[in-house]
Structure 1
Amino acid sequence: MSITDTTSGLTLKEILANSSKKTPTTSNDGLAAATNSSTGKNALGKDAFLKLLVTQLNNQNPLDPQDNSEFVAQLAQFSSLEGITTLNDSVTAIAGNYKSSQALQASSLVGRSVIVQAATTQVDTTKSMTGSVKVPASVSGLTVTITDKDGKTVKTIDLGSQKAGNTSFVWDGTKTDGTKAEPGNYTFKASTTIDGKGTDLITYLPATVNSVTISQTGGELMLNLAGQSSAVALSKVQTIGI
């Protein structure tokens, strides 16, 4: 049974329902501000989320209030949002520390000598240079041919029979005729015969680090080496010397 107001023709339930509808006030202004903050340039933060939650509670229907389980679920969402915000701040701080560590590491590498997988390098022929060859299986004969920037053969080093593994070689900077070669860029080609077929092997050569490129997206350091046209990733470095 409903009680009826003879002047308005509205039931008590309708009157109470209408009473929950408020004209724009400071609460609605807060809701608008919170909504704008979530849909504008700024992401929905914990403060905006809390404003939305409070405004929702202030404007709920008294005849159909929010269920306790729904309220607890929203509080849990608020807690999760706050935790994610804190995690983001921590990750940002860690990323900043990582970049600082990279910069320090980069500065210590400039001018150092490293051993990397390469075929060409800059050689100071006034002193001996040591490189190595990766031998996949035992071979009866292994040679390293050295050519200059014009592609002319400067010297061939005969390493003879070798077992599987890394085999070192030394070039004293002299040509085949015993005279000193000019300092500059030289190419080293290691060759052998495996299963009756001529095979080129991987060489590891020394190079000087001219500069280091630091990734702005969290990637690894890239080393710009003397005598090489392309940068080499730090993870590709076999040995770091003086």
Structure 2
Amino acid sequence: MNIDLSGKTALITGSTQGIGFAIAKGLALSGAEVVINGRKQDAVDAAVTQLKHLLPSANVRGIAADAGTAEGCKAMVAALPRVDILVNNVGIYGPQDFFETDDDVWEKFFEVNVMSGVRLSRAYLEGMAKNGWGRVVFISSESALNIPADMIHYGFTKTSNLSISRGLAKRMAGTGVTVNAVLPGPTLSEGLQDMLKDEQQKSGEPIEKVAADFVMANRPTSIIQRAASMEEVANLVVYVVSPQASATTGAALRVDGGVVDSIA
């Protein structure tokens, strides 16, 4: 399968590192003009430089704006009025007991993980429909279905992503625009590597082995019995935004290594 996204402009929020950067790289490899986003200008500049170093022929630029605020989304749209592909990737997470999670935390998670995608989809979807082609992807999580007891506030936002993406897919029916959600499971991102750094140093094991042990201890239903790579997650996103995926919309697509114990 030859995925060709030449002539398409793709915005990936929260893409200076991690899964977002891997998605940006995958889209650039497929010929898309890639727009990297992050809150800080220096991080955006560094990510753009890194991607250009990895792919010298890549058409890539950056926008520094906080997608987790209404003002940041407005600034992003002003700098980039039209896109063909929108990947709502920006997100925050972190364990916290329900009884110790105050309103400010709930509101912060909702603004970043949910409203960022709502605002940007609202800004870009009508333009996609007028062009007769477009792709929107919400990066959800297996935690949307397998709500963590120690991160209820996070799981709630990821379930919200599923509701919004399904509803938007119906709203865009017949326009040539698809809207989907992608659900990663445990992924060997920089965040997970940082979290496991002390354990790795203590054990002397490769980070992949330490991560696999962590997955089996915390997500024992994993079928691949390891953390996915960021590229494995990005590969699914690249397919979902491709012309070849034109009949896939309103879907919750899992790349969770089989963590969610369901056949549906």
Query: What is the TM-score when the length of structure 2 is the normalising length?
Result: 0.19
**Greater helix percent: which structure?**
2
Larger Rg: 1
**Greater strand percent: which structure?**
1
